[in-house]
Amino acid sequence: MNKNHFRVLYGAGACFVALFIYQCCRIGSLNWETFQNAIRFTIRVSAGTPFWVLIVSVILCWFGRKNKKRMATGMTDEYSEYTATQTNNRAIFRCNFSRDLDSFNLLFHKLRSTWQRIGEQRGITGESHVGLAYFANVLIRHSLLGFQLISSYQSFFAWMTFRPGLEALLIIGKLVNDPKNADVWKNKCVDWKLYNKTFSGAALESKSLPRSKELRRVLSRLNDDFMHPNPTFTYRDSRCKSASKDLFLEIEFFDVDDNLHEAHLFGYLNLLDLVAKASEELIDNLCGPLPTRPTYQSFAKQESERALRVASKNMLAKRVMNDLGLWSIS
């Protein structure tokens, strides 16, 4: 090997080390899981990254951490701590619930491939339904974002995030039921009273969307429990703690009850399964059934024993699974 070869190897090694240091600094706290994440991140992006970019990034990150130390006494970088906890939680979730992660990926793929048909096929009588793709995209995006928060152990935030996707599906049912409702939807700012009359409450139920009555009931529950600071929302994650003569009122950012988090996880996945099935039936009615499609066992049947175990430990967990996930656990 000549000197040029050594220079290339040295440069590559320096890039790898610099990028690893940068990622560790960005995470903010280093343990075994974040160390593994930093290694994976470094291997994934080190190839082809200019060395000077990495050096500048490390320098900026270092000065940022020095500035953090210059903060006034008692101040901490709470945002970095919060995002680091999210990262750690997702790594823990992947270890504890890899089976459920696989279930989500299967259901999410089914949901996407189902709605993809409206961009590729016309209806049975030759009409186009491509306008429904706007609402389908909202449903798909919020299904993924909601699960990301479940995997971060932030169940309250997951349902809040999924809610627009569920409403988008119910609106699709109304538009398929009567295409004239599209004009009502587009003219919301012109005639908001007619919009509310058409797309609010029980009026959101439709014959075109299977199980729309049950899905609309879930939407109402999400509105009541996760969208407004009413007593249920406000008290749910608040904690009073005493220290000496002082009393502290805190609010949780992450799930603290493992059993309850599992109930939200099972509820979310079962609801997503029902949403995917309802979407499939609606598209089959519009575009015709597919000649063949993969068969799979429903999430409720596949995980019935685990669901019963979780529901039996906590009445609140059972209520979450039945009311939000549409389980039928007595």
Structure tokens at 92: 């823990």
| pLDDT on residue 44 | 46
Mean pLDDT of 276-305: 94
| pLDDT on residue 66 | 47
Residues 110 and 39 in one domain: no
Mean pLDDT of 45-61: 48
19 or 104, which is more confident?
104
Q: Is the pTM of this model over 0.85?
A: no
149 or 17, which is more confident?
149
Residues 119 and 7 in one domain: no
Residues 224 and 123 in one domain: yes
Task: Name the residue type at position 107.
Answer: L
33 or 97, which is more confident?
97
> pLDDT of 235-267, one tens digit each?
999 999 888 888 999 999 999 999 999 999 999
Computed from CA positions of residues 47, 50, 52, 54, in that sequence, does the dihedral angle turn out positive or negative? negative
Residues 71 and 125 in one domain: no
Decide which of 76, 110, 129 is a domain's last residue: 76
> pLDDT of 63-99, one tens digit each?
544 444 444 455 678 999 999 999 999 999 999 999 9
Please work out, in degrees rounded to the nearest 5, the angle formed at the alpha carbon of residue 61 by the alpha carbons of 55 and 67.
140
Whole-number Å distance between alpha carbons of 152 and 82: 11
Domain count, the chain: 2
Residues 63 and 153 in one domain: no
Residue 89 lies in a domain: no
| pLDDT on residue 9 | 45
Structure tokens at 280: 């499939």
Residues 117 and 215 in one domain: yes
| pLDDT on residue 129 | 95
Mean pLDDT of 151-165: 97
| pLDDT on residue 245 | 83
Residue 93 lies in a domain: no
Decide which of 24, 43, 76 is a domain's last residue: 76
How sure is the predictor about 295, in pLDDT bands with cuts at 50, 70 and 90? confident
Residues 113 and 69 in one domain: no
How sure is the predictor about 104, in pLDDT bands with cuts at 50, 70 and 90? very high
| pLDDT on residue 39 | 56
Q: Mean of the per-residue pLDDT values for the chain? A: 85
Torsion of CA 54, 57, 62, 68, to 10 degrees: -160
Whole-number Å distance between alpha carbons of 97 and 218: 25
How sure is the predictor about 5, in pLDDT bands with cuts at 50, 70 and 90? very low
| Long-range CB contacts for residues 197-206, cutoff 8 Å, separation at least 24 | 198/174, 199/171, 199/174, 204/167, 204/170, 204/171, 204/173, 204/174, 205/170, 205/173, 206/170, 206/173, 206/174, 206/176, 206/177
In three state form, how does the secondary structure of the chain look?
A: CCHHHHHHHHHHHHHHHHHHHHHHHHHCCCCHHHHHHHHHHHHHHHCCCCHHHHHHHHHHHHHHHHHHHCCCCCCCCHHHHHHHHHHHHHHHHHHHCHHHHHHHHHHHHHHHHHHHHHHHCCCCCCCCCHHHHHHHHHHHHHHHHHHHHHCCCCHHHHHHHHHHHHHHHHHHHHHHHCCCHHHHHHCCCCCHHHHHHHHCHHHHCCCCCCCHHHHHHHHHHHHHHHCCCCHHHHHHCEEEEEECCEEEEEECCCCCCHHHHHHHHHHHHHHHHHHHHHHHHHHHHHHCCCCCCCCCCCHHHHCHHHHHHHHHHCHHHHHHHHHCCCCCCC
Residues 119 and 211 in one domain: yes
How sure is the predictor about 169, in pLDDT bands with cuts at 50, 70 and 90? very high
- Of 165-174, 212-221, 244-253, the one with minimum mean pLDDT is 244-253
Residues 251 and 189 in one domain: yes
Using CA atoms, how far residue 220 sits from 92, 193, 318, 319, 330, in Å, is: 32, 19, 18, 15, 22
234 or 4, which is more confident?
234
Residue 276 lies in a domain: yes
**Residue pair 184/195 in contact by the 8 Å Cβ criterion:** yes
Residues 229 and 301 in one domain: yes
Residues 156 and 277 in one domain: yes
Whole-number Å distance between alpha carbons of 319 and 330: 10
Residue 85 lies in a domain: no
Domain that holds residue 165: 98-323
CA atoms within 13 A on the CB side of 101: 13
Residue 83 lies in a domain: no
Mean pLDDT of 51-60: 49
Mean pLDDT of 156-176: 97
Mean pLDDT of 33-44: 52
Residue 59 lies in a domain: yes
| pLDDT on residue 293 | 86
Residues 281 and 316 in one domain: yes
pLDDT surpassing 70 at residue 153: yes
| pLDDT on residue 242 | 85
Residue 284 lies in a domain: yes
Residue 121 lies in a domain: yes
**Residue pair 302/103 in contact by the 8 Å Cβ criterion:** yes
Whole-number Å distance between alpha carbons of 297 and 300: 8
- How many whole angstroms from its chain centre is CA 3? 51
Decide which of 11, 41, 76 is a domain's last residue: 76
> pLDDT of 174-192, one tens digit each?
999 999 999 999 999 999 9
pLDDT surpassing 50 at residue 216: yes
Closest CA to 283 of 192, 229, 210: 210
**Residue pair 315/149 in contact by the 8 Å Cβ criterion:** no
Mean pLDDT of 104-131: 95
